[in-house]
């Protein structure tokens, strides 16, 4: 079968082949976590080998001027990565992620991550999608960043415009 190819800079129209729906620039996705617990912070400390007491010892964190225990910045980034990987689905993969932290998260906080497609480009084996990620707690920004996601073509029909 002879399938016409798009130019390398044009991504194919792909509204229904991706489990998340539209891949149009401007479309979005989101994730809302369960409330963060101190136990979760202790477990994350073990997983990340970051045992700084500000993440689990309230008195120590208060003496450090933090007002209490704060979550690991990288835990917030992990929530951002989870939003991207959940959206990408089992066949997609996050190839790059970066974040800037603007405020700490604390036990009891529910982190909301909003993702938005900012660009897409057809590649030989799929579509590279650039996403903006913003994390907040009750509307207060806690982190922002970007992710690059590779999504395979669902079928030969998705390679046409």
Q: How many CB atoms lie under 10 A from the CB of residue 51? A: 10
What does the pLDDT read at residue 57?
93
Does 82 have pLDDT greater than 80?
Answer: yes
Per-residue pLDDT at 10 exceeds 80 = no
Residue range 29-53: average pLDDT? 94
The mean pLDDT of 56-80, rounded to a whole number, is: 96
Which domains can be identified in the chain, with CATH numbers? Answer: 28-35+74-153 (3.10.129.10)
Each residue's pLDDT tens digit, 84-126: 999 999 999 999 999 999 999 999 999 999 999 999 999 988 9
Of 87, 107, 102, 95, whose CA–CA distance to 149 is shortest? Answer: 95
Q: Is the pLDDT of residue 2 over 90?
A: no
Predicted pLDDT of residue 23: 84
pLDDT at 18 over 70: no
Q: Is the dihedral of CA 3, 7, 8, 13 positive or negative?
A: negative
pLDDT band at 154 (very low <50, low <70, confident <90, very high): low
Give the side-chain half-sphere CA count within 13 A for 114.
12
Q: What is the pLDDT of residue 104?
A: 96
């Amino acid at each position: 079968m002879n399938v016409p190819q798009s130019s390398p800079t044009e991504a194919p129209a792909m509204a229904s082949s991706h489990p998340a729906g539209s891949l149009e620039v401007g479309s979005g996705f989101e994730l809302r976590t369960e409330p963060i617990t101190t136990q979760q912070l202790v477990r994350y400390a073990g997983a990340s080998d970051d045992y700084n007491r500000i993440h689990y010892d309230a008195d120590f964190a208060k003496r450090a001027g933090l007002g209490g225990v704060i979550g690991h910045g990288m835990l917030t980034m992990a929530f951002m990565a989870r939003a991207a990987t959940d959206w990408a689905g089992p066949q997609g993969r996050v190839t790059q992620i970066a974040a800037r932290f603007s405020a700490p998260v604390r036990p009891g906080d529910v982190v909301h991550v909003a993702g938005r497609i900012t660009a897409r480009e057809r590649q030989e084996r799929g579509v590279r999608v650039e996403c903006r990620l913003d994390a907040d707690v009750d509307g207060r920004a806690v982190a922002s960043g970007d992710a690059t996601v590779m999504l395979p073509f669902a079928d030969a029909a998705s390679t046409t415009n």
